[in-house]
Amino acid sequence: MIGQPISRVDGPAKVTGKAKFAAEFNVPNLTYGVVVTSAIAKGRIVGIDDREALAQPGVRMVMTHKNRPKLARLDLNYKDQDAPAGSPFRPLQDDKIFYSTQPIALVVADTFEMARYAATLVKVAYHEEAHETDLQANLSEAHNPAAGPVNLFKPLPPKPRGNAQQAYMEADKRVSGEFVHQAEHHNPMEMFATTAVYEAPKRGEKPRLTIYDKTQGAPNSQLVVANGLNLPFKNVRVISPFIGGAFGSGLRPQYQLLLASMAALELKQSVRVSLTRDQMFTMGFRPATVQKIALGAQADGTLSSVYHQAIAETSHREDYTETVVNWSGELYKCDNVALDYQLVSLDVYSPQDMRAPGGVTGVSVLEVAMDEMAYEVGMDPLEFRIKNFTSWDQTHDRPYSSKEILACYREGAERFGWARRTPEPRSMRDGNVLVGWGMASGVWMADQIPARAEAVLGVNGKLRVSSATADIGTGTYTIMTQIAAETLGLPIDDVLFRLGDTDMPLAPIQGGSWTAATVGNAVRVVCEDLGKKLLKLAAQMPDSPFKKAKSTDVQFVDSHMRLVGDPSVAISLRDIVALNGGKAVRETSTSIPNMLKQSRYTRYTHSAIFAEVRVDPDLNVVTVSRLVGAVAAGRIINPKTARSQIIGGMVWGLSKALHEESVRDNNVGRFMNHNYAEYHIPVCKDTPDMDVIFVEEHDDVVNPMGIKGLGEIGQVGTPAAIANAIFHATGKRVHDLPITLDKLL
């Protein structure tokens, strides 16, 4: 079962419309909230005229900072699992405007249409102050980031080692450059929405809310609603069975969650708030960065110095950080490394984790610089990387738990045909069209954290497993079903995995590519524990052949428990449940990482991406014609969903390289291309055939199952591979992403 290309178990529900998303749960007497956003980027609200809006038939309320229900005061109450250091934004807190398009009112009406219309009638007067949203103009204001608990998973730069500056001066070859990446928005297909179902309080109690939310962690939404609105946790249930993509945007509760919950409490009625596509640009985003890199190498291609600095934007409220530069001190062997990461606080919403946060940002720069250096030292870019390979993480002075990147290079290059590459820029053509081949390495974390799961074997012999995790389209439902089915020897159809409900055992937010490892091991453990319970039950039968068996003496296959020594001695799982007095057998377990073992190793996934581009020599239109990704990610549970993850990541890498950019007009302090027509992601015609290779990699350090996670690694190396291919095709180095055709003119 594990290792099989099983099709998504949730696929039929999704394509037939049975799968319900947050805005699709209908309840009686539902009202609809539409958000009004700020027209200015900084200042104060001095007046809100809601008379015309309130005069419309069916309009229930215009909720603003003046009439909202009471909110908790302390920042602590709004700290979600992914909150950086600082003061989290909460909607309608007071009259202050922190950023353009900030939510400032919620219009609630009996119909969505009326709420939307009435929202256009709310007139707001502001006292405007000068704003700053320009990262490049404010680099001198950069500060060292404040650290928070999340930095456990998103480390800030380590101390320097050796003397990078001196080594750079003494190097035979040097490359350096500045790189600017623009902001990007996650833009999942499904827009953020919350349906907050109100239940009147029983005598002496507080009301209850059942909340259908778009989130990457139902417990995370529960945390903020309960704390922020001062409700007991048991009065807040969050349900989120399906998510139409999130890419990190759902790692923190979005503002519609609190707005819908506040309105429901205020109106004592159920409220749905769904955001518009435009409003998907009014929340967290991948921050713009300005990066500087300088590499030194000896004539023989030995990397001798790495300096990498990133300056990123953040809000005035929080120091959002991501790990941008650390990779540059880890991926290759180098004795002299200096890394620096700083923030500039601007009048913007706090940036937020977006697929491969920091990783794709920093590695895109390192890997372009590596390509430049390969040309400087006159080596093939792939050979140059192989030469500087290391299996020892010099930053943490410890080995990698596994790092099969050499196999990625080898197998990827072979599949791509890299050996046929001629190194000279502009040397490969197809007719008149310039052809370029480029490659880059990729790296991402392979974390595992604690999680809980429940397994219930029903009287019908079917297994139900649950954990309050999420499936943002990655395939969590499917691979958890596989793991459970394999562990207890059941066919896929006899296993039902459920997720996304705070009534289920706790799991962390679904991010960082850790869900497969984290929840996967929890599912494994709970099924094993359930197996032990089943053994105990079977052993209690009169004359049981399992009487003396230990858990290692039995195996679960074909819906039976069998003795390992004599598989003909067997009992069906259904018969075991029958021994339980007609009751289902249940177990809840926690999987806890072996931190002692893990801490002795650096645990990462790796990849090598190869790209072919075609460039029109006069018009500079760039087409990516081939992408090959070779990935070392430990054990692959499901090659089909795994491949989809990598392909999705590579498409996004292509998007970052060529298309994607949230364009800010700093005069008005707002992102201006706030719709799908103008915020470009690749269409089918832009995406080439993609080849994905999973190289063999065994790793029993990362977690008992050897799973590494695949959510982000596909994206990390792709932009640099494409940028390097464009250089090879055209002879032009473009450092600023996205590489639009005007930058090649």
677 touches another protein (CB under 8 A): yes
Query: What's the closest the beta carbon of residue 674 comes to another protein, in angstroms?
Result: 7
Burial of 299 (0-12, 13-18, 19+ CB in 10 A): exposed
Query: What's the closest the beta carbon of residue 191 comes to another protein, in angstroms?
Result: 13
Nearest residue (CB) to another protein, 180 versus 672: 672
Residues in contact with another protein, shown as a per-residue x/- string from 174 to 213 under the rule CB under 8 A: ----------------------------------------
From candidates 46, 55, 139, 672, binder to another protein by CB under 8 A = 672
Bridge partners (DSSP) of residue 341 are: 310
Query: What's the closest the beta carbon of residue 97 comes to another protein, in angstroms?
Result: 13
Residue 10 backbone phi and psi in degrees, to 5: -95, 0
Query: What's the closest the beta carbon of residue 120 comes to another protein, in angstroms?
Result: 5
113 touches another protein (CB under 8 A): yes
Question: CA-CA distance, 501 to 626, in Å (whole number)?
Answer: 41
Which 693-722 positions form the footprint of another protein (CB under 8 A)? Answer: none
Residues near another protein (CB under 8 A), total: 37
Q: What does the DSSP assignment read for 147-163?
A: P-GGGGTSPPPPPPBS-
Nearest residue (CB) to another protein, 138 versus 623: 623
By CB under 8 A, which span of 115-123, 313-321, 587-595, 606-614 interacts with another protein?
Answer: 115-123
Bridge partners (DSSP) of residue 193 are: 274
Q: What angle do CA 254, 260, 261 make, to 5 degrees?
A: 100
Contact 109, 31 (CB under 8 A): yes
Query: What's the closest the beta carbon of residue 315 comes to another protein, in angstroms?
Result: 20
By CB under 8 A, which span of 183-191, 234-242, 256-264, 676-684 interacts with another protein?
Answer: 676-684
Query: What's the closest the beta carbon of residue 619 comes to another protein, in angstroms?
Result: 6
Rounded to an integer, what is the distance from CA 193 to the centroid of its chain? 19
Where does 88-192 show beta strands of DSSP type E?
Answer: 96-97, 103-109, 123-128, 173-181
From candidates 117, 126, 153, 389, binder to another protein by CB under 8 A = 117
Query: What's the closest the beta carbon of residue 621 comes to another protein, in angstroms?
Result: 7
Question: CA-CA distance, 208 to 201, in Å (whole number)?
Answer: 7
Question: CA-CA distance, 620 to 721, in Å (whole number)?
Answer: 18
CA distances from 367 to 303, 474, 683 (A): 13, 27, 26
151 touches another protein (CB under 8 A): no
By CB under 8 A, which span of 227-235, 393-401, 433-441, 677-685 interacts with another protein?
Answer: 677-685
131 touches another protein (CB under 8 A): no
Which 34-93 positions form the footprint of another protein (CB under 8 A)? Answer: 37, 39
Query: What's the closest the beta carbon of residue 270 comes to another protein, in angstroms?
Result: 23
689 touches another protein (CB under 8 A): no
668 touches another protein (CB under 8 A): yes
Question: CA-CA distance, 545 to 549, in Å (whole number)?
Answer: 8
Nearest residue (CB) to another protein, 430 versus 678: 678
551 touches another protein (CB under 8 A): no
Query: What's the closest the beta carbon of residue 743 comes to another protein, in angstroms?
Result: 9
By CB under 8 A, which span of 110-118, 134-142, 435-443, 468-476 interacts with another protein?
Answer: 110-118
- Mention every residue, 6+ apart, whose C-beta is less than 8 A from residue 249: 185, 186, 188, 192, 280, 283, 284, 352, 354
Please tell me what DSSP assigns to residue 21. P
With residue 220 as reference, give the H or E element that holds it. Answer: helix 218-228
Query: What's the closest the beta carbon of residue 121 comes to another protein, in angstroms?
Result: 9
Query: What's the closest the beta carbon of residue 329 comes to another protein, in angstroms?
Result: 35
With residue 257 as reference, give the H or E element that holds it. Answer: helix 255-267
List the structure tokens of 296: 């030194």
Contact 111, 67 (CB under 8 A): no
List the structure tokens of 333: 């062997």
Which 251-280 positions form the footprint of another protein (CB under 8 A)? Answer: 276, 278
Q: What does the DSSP assignment read for 501-520?
A: BTTSPP---S-TT-HHHHHH
Nearest residue (CB) to another protein, 170 versus 278: 278
SS3 for 270-313 is CEEEECCCHHHHCCCCECCEEEEEEEEECCCCCEEEEEEEEEEE
433 touches another protein (CB under 8 A): no
Contact 275, 21 (CB under 8 A): no
419 touches another protein (CB under 8 A): no
Nearest residue (CB) to another protein, 165 versus 276: 276
680 touches another protein (CB under 8 A): yes
- Mention every residue, 6+ apart, whose C-beta is less than 8 A from residue 399: 391, 392, 393, 600, 601, 602
Question: CA-CA distance, 36 to 121, in Å (whole number)?
Answer: 10
From candidates 129, 414, 665, 696, binder to another protein by CB under 8 A = 665
By CB under 8 A, which span of 77-85, 114-122, 147-155, 523-531 interacts with another protein?
Answer: 114-122
Which 611-630 positions form the footprint of another protein (CB under 8 A)? Answer: 618-621, 623
By CB under 8 A, which span of 76-84, 486-494, 521-529, 680-688 interacts with another protein?
Answer: 680-688
129 is catalytic: no
Report the relative pairing of strands 208-213 and 193-199 from DSSP bridges: antiparallel
CA distances from 455 to 462, 504, 533, 702 (A): 10, 11, 11, 24
Nearest residue (CB) to another protein, 112 versus 153: 112
Query: What's the closest the beta carbon of residue 116 comes to another protein, in angstroms?
Result: 6
Please pick, among 367, 411, 528, 712, the residue that the annotation labels catalytic. Answer: 712
Residues in contact with another protein, shown as a per-residue x/- string from 723 to 742 under the rule CB under 8 A: -----------------xxx
From candidates 141, 172, 529, 686, binder to another protein by CB under 8 A = 686
Residue 304 backbone phi and psi in degrees, to 5: -115, -15
128 touches another protein (CB under 8 A): no
300 touches another protein (CB under 8 A): no
Reduced to 3 states (helix: H, G, I; strand: E, B; else coil), residue 553 is helix
From candidates 385, 614, 659, 728, binder to another protein by CB under 8 A = 659
Burial of 18 (0-12, 13-18, 19+ CB in 10 A): exposed
Which positions are annotated as active-site residues? 712
- List residues near another protein by CB under 8 A: 37, 39, 113, 116-117, 120, 276, 278, 618-621, 623, 658-659, 663-665, 667-668, 670, 672-675, 677-678, 680, 682-686, 740-742, 745
